[in-house]
Structure 1
Amino acid sequence: MDSSMMILFFVGSLFLQGALGDITCEYLPANVCSFAISSSGKRCLLENSVTNEGNKVEYQCKTSEVVVGSSVGEHIETDECVEACGLDRKSVGLSSDSLLESSFTAKLCSSSCYQNCPNVVDLYFNLAAGEGVYLPDLCEKQRSHTRRDMIELKSSNGEMAPGPSSEEGLVGAPQKSPRRAMVELSSGAPTPTDDDDVAAPSV
């Protein structure tokens, strides 16, 4: 085996060890980086940069300083959870901004995601907490809103469901920012009990 082949074999072995054995974020390809957790228990995050030519974006997987619980360590998120939770493999960095989108929280709070994808729930539980929001409360509000919409649709007997009240967004009504609404939900909601449908994730 000549020297060039030995070098290729060595580099390939390092990559396989990082991807399949001990998970090191820097060894992971960009298409599995987001929502992965290294063997050291730190979350991987995808970073992007523009090349010197300025016409191409390069993605790199990096190790963040965010440490997770041992129950979800050393993990590469499955395609099933990525789809069920409404995630995007090309998500750059770690951000709570997606929690402001009702379409995203609907998927995150769905049973197929919330009950089956502890890594994702742990991530967004902590991101929400950083905004002063308790994720189970946010999910309960999401479910209540969905149930209310269904009831209004059924009661309309085929006619258009009632529009939003003046407090829910009519022209001229005072508006709240989504982030402020999240914080107010957290501060004004009752403390959950063991009988609640949604519990905090075990990490």
Structure 2
Amino acid sequence: MASFSSSSSYYALSTWSCLVGLLVLVAAHHVDGYVACPNLNKDTCAFAVSSSGKRCVLEKLSLDGGESNHVCRTSEIRAGGSRGWIESNECIDGCGVSRDTLGVSSDALLESRFVRTLCSPRCYKSCPNIVDLFFNLAAGEGVFLPKLCEAHKTNGRRAVAEIRSSGQAAPSPTVAPVHHRKLVEVAAPAPAVAILP
């Protein structure tokens, strides 16, 4: 009887060890999971960051017969510190962006309602990945996002009008639907250099 009890304990302990090991392995994969943009679907691509730290972009491809297909591609745009990141639904909703967003564009910064949502505490303080993206897009337009948010608190329409009138932002297209957007690497503006005689 004693040998039955010890062998039973051995199998119970082995089973328990295997389960714990399996849970640790699954948890480690979840935390350090590999994210490759081409493996993402339409519902997870926009605002995701690959494991290499490059942003994923959703593109719409036209197929024969007038049909279209969405594909997720890896851009050359580096995310500031995020790697292997699938954006949460809370941040997608809280920042006023959409999973259907095609490409990467600063056009949304010209919309007062979007800027108000982006600058809200719900987004600005809780969704660093989306804020980082629009911080860099704003910088590419010569705009400092924290200053834009501050100006938007006092007079939102005026802040957006100043971006439009500065000549830094191109007007958004109003004619002909765009099927493909060109991806542009966004970097902070280069510092001014003075040449002395």
Q: Give the TM-score normalised by structure 1.
A: 0.63
Partner of 2:38: 26
Q: Note if 1:92 corresponds to 2:79.
A: no
- The percentage of aligned residue pairs carrying the same residue is 46
Partner of 1:180: 165
1:141 to 148, 151, 166: 151
Q: Which runs of 4+ in 1 moved over 2 A?
A: 176-184
Where does the alignment leave 5 or more consecutive residues of structure 2 unmatched?
1-28, 170-197
Q: Deviations over 1:123-170 (max 9, x none)?
A: 000000000000001100111126xxxxxxxxxxxxxxxxx9xxx7xx
Partner of 1:51: 63
2:71 to 52, 60, 71: 60
Structure with greater Cα Rg = 2
Partner of 1:116: 126
Partner of 1:107: 117
Aligned 8 A contact 1:32 1:89 in 2: yes
Secondary structure at 1:44 match in 2: strand
Q: What value does the CA root-mean-square deviation take over the aligned residues?
A: 2.5
Counterpart of 2:58, as a letter, is: L
Q: CA separation in 1, counterparts of 2:138 and 2:163?
A: 13
Where does the alignment leave 5 or more consecutive residues of structure 1 unmatched?
1-16, 147-163, 169-175, 185-203
Number of residue pairs aligned between Structure 1 and Structure 2 = 138
Q: CA separation in 2, counterparts of 1:125 and 1:69?
A: 10
Q: CA separation in 2, counterparts of 1:121 and 1:26?
A: 23
Q: CA separation in 2, counterparts of 1:182 and 1:145?
A: 20
Q: Deviations over 1:14-45 (max 9, x none)?
A: xxx9xx82000000011110000000000000
Counterpart of 1:28, as a letter, is: L
Q: CA separation in 2, counterparts of 1:145 and 1:93?
A: 29
